[in-house]
Amino acid sequence: MTLALEAAAKTVGGRVHIHPTSLELQKGTMNVLLGPTLSGKTTLMRLMASLDRPTSGRVLWEGRDVTGTRVQDRNVAMVYQQFINYPSMSVFENIASPLRLMGRGKAEIDRAVTRAAELMKLEGLLRRKPLELSGGQQQRCALARALVKEAGLVLLDEPLANLDYKLREELRVEIPKIFEESGSIFVYATTEPEEALLLGGNTATLWEGRITQFGPTPDVYRRPVDATTARAFSDPPMNFLAISKTGNRLLFGGGQNLPATGKLQELEDGRYMAGFRPNHLEVARHTPDAMTFTPTIDVTEITGSETFLHLEHHGEKWVGLIHGVHDLRHDQQIEVFLDPAHIYIFAEDGRLVVPASYAMAA
C-alpha cells in the first residue's frame, strides 16, 4: 500500500501554494510534515486526501490514479487542530459514526468503539456529549473516530496544538503506539521540531511550498541537506555566521579561526557559512578547543529551567539556549563558547558541504 505524489502542484489565484512535489509514502509508516506556518503542510495534506485537486501532477493510491477522486470515495481519515466532533451526539455515537455510514452491524460497532475508547482512555465518558469533555478528551474522541474507520490514509493536521503541555506530551507518546498496528499510512503535520523527533518515523521538511528533504527523522535532523532544512528543523532556528577558508585555516572573523582538518581540508578556498544550533552555545567552556565569541545581548527570556539569549554578533542575530536561570542585562557583552564539533559548513548557496562531526556518528 503506497501513496505517491507525482509532480503534484497547487496554484491559487496565480499564487503558488505547493511547487511540483514528488513523494512516496509506504504502508505502516509515520510521516511528519515539518515546517513553519504557511509552509504548505495543510495544502499538501488536502491534495493527499483529495479534498483539493492539484493544479498539475497526479496523486496515486496503490498505483492507481486517484487525482480528482471524491474524498467520499477514498478511505481517508483526517483529524484537525480544532476539536471537530458532532456536539449533539454522545461520545459513543461520535466514534461510531464512520462505521454506521459504512453499514456495519451493531456487534461490530460495539466492539470497535469499546476498543478505541479503551485505547484513548474514554471508557467512562461514552455517554457524555463532546462539550462536557475537556479539550484533551475532545481531541481523544476525534482520534478514536479516525481509529475505528480503519482508513488506509490517516492525516493528522497539528492535532495537539490546542492542548496543554501535559496532554500534548501524553498523546505524542501514545499516537504512534495506538496506530502502529493498523498498517495505515500516517501523515502528521507540525511546526515543532521536537514533536517530529518524538514521533520518529520519517520527516519531510517544508519551506515556502517546497519539500526540502525527506527521510528517516533522525537523519534529516542530523544531516540536513541545506541551510533551509536546518532552519526548519531547529527551534529556535539554526544560527549562521559567514566564514572563509584560506589554505589550511577556517576564518571566522574577530580573530577566530580553526585548522582545516579532516573533510575541511577538501574544501576549496572561498566563502562559506557556518551553522550551529542554539543549544550548542554555552556560557562556560566545557571543551578545551571551544571557540569563544563576545556578542551583545539584545533580550533574555527565562522559561524557568532554561534561558533564551537573543544575541547580536557583528550584525548577525543569534539565539542561545542555555540551562538554568541567568539574569543578564540588555546591551551587555557576554562570552559564549562553541564546540567546533557542532558546526555545520554550508556553501554560499546553502548546500551542506561538511556536516557537524557528531552528525556522522552512528
Q: What is the 3-state secondary structure (H, E, C) of the chain?
A: CEEEEEEEEEEECCEEEEEEEEEEEECCCEEEEECCCCCCHHHHHHHHHCCCCCCEEEEEECCEECCCCCHHHCCEEEECCCCCCCCCCCHHHHHHHHHHHCCCCHHHHHHHHHHHHHHCCCHHHCCCCHHHCCHHHHHHHHHHHHHHCCCCEEEEECCCCCCCHHHHHHHHHHHHHHHHCCCCEEEEEECCHHHHHHHCCEEEEEECCEEEEEEEHHHHHHCCCEHHHHHHCCCCCCEEEEEEEECCEEEEECCEEEECCHHHHHCCCEEEEEEECHHHEECCCCCCCCEEECCEEEEEEECCCEEEEEEEECCEEEEEEEECCCCCCCCCECCEEECHHHCEEEECCCEEEECCHHHHCC
Fold of 239-360: OB fold (Dihydrolipoamide Acetyltransferase, E2P) (2.40.50)
Does the pLDDT value for residue 358 go beyond 70?
Answer: no
Residues with Cβ within 8 Å of 139's Cβ and at least 6 positions away in sequence, in order, are 79, 83, 159, 160, 162, 163, 167, 171
Instruction: With cut-offs at 50, 70 and 90, classify the pLDDT of residue 359.
Output: very low
Dump pLDDT digits (tens) for 281-336: 998 888 888 999 999 999 988 887 888 999 999 888 999 998 888 778 888 899 99
- Judged against a pLDDT cut of 50, whether residue 346 lies above it is answered with yes
Place of cell 505524542: 172
Is the distance from CB of 206 to CB of 232 less than 8 angstroms?
Answer: yes
Q: With 70 as the cut, is the pLDDT of residue 7 above it?
A: yes
On whether the CB atoms of residues 331 and 347 are closer than 8 A, the answer is no
Kindly tell me if the per-residue pLDDT of 361 is higher than 60.
no
- Return the CATH architecture of domain 2-226: 3-Layer(aba) Sandwich (3.40)
pLDDT in tens, 9-43: 999 998 999 999 999 999 989 999 999 999 999 99
pLDDT over 70, % of the chain: 98
Give 257's pLDDT tier (boundaries 50, 70, 90): confident
As a whole number, the mean pLDDT across the chain is 90
Please count the other Cβ atoms lying within 10 Å of the Cβ belonging to residue 283: 16
Q: What span, in angstroms and rounded, lies between the C-alpha atoms of 170 and 290?
A: 38
pLDDT in tens, 123-181: 999 999 999 998 888 888 988 898 888 889 999 998 887 777 777 777 777 777 776 66
**pLDDT at res. 163:** 75
Q: How many Å apart are CA 279 and CA 308, to the nearest integer? A: 9
Share of the chain above pLDDT 90, in %: 60
Distance CA 314, CA 295 (A): 8
Quickly state the pLDDT bin for 102 (edges 50, 70, 90).
confident
pLDDT of residue 118: 87
Q: Report cis status (omega within 30 of 0) of the bond before 236.
A: yes
For residue 362, pLDDT over 50 is answered with no
Specify the amino acid at residue 107: A
Residue 360 has pLDDT above 50, yes or no: no
Please compute the mean of the pLDDT values over residues 344-360 and round it to a whole number: 84
Residue pair 55/10 in contact (Cβ under 8 Å)? The answer is yes
The whole-number pLDDT of residue 172 equals 79
Q: Which residues contact 111 (CB under 8 A, 6 or more apart)?
A: none
What local confidence, expressed as pLDDT, does residue 310 receive?
94
**Domain map (residue ranges) of the chain:** 2-226, 239-360
Is the pLDDT confidence value at 207 over 60? yes
Residue 179 is predicted with a pLDDT of 67
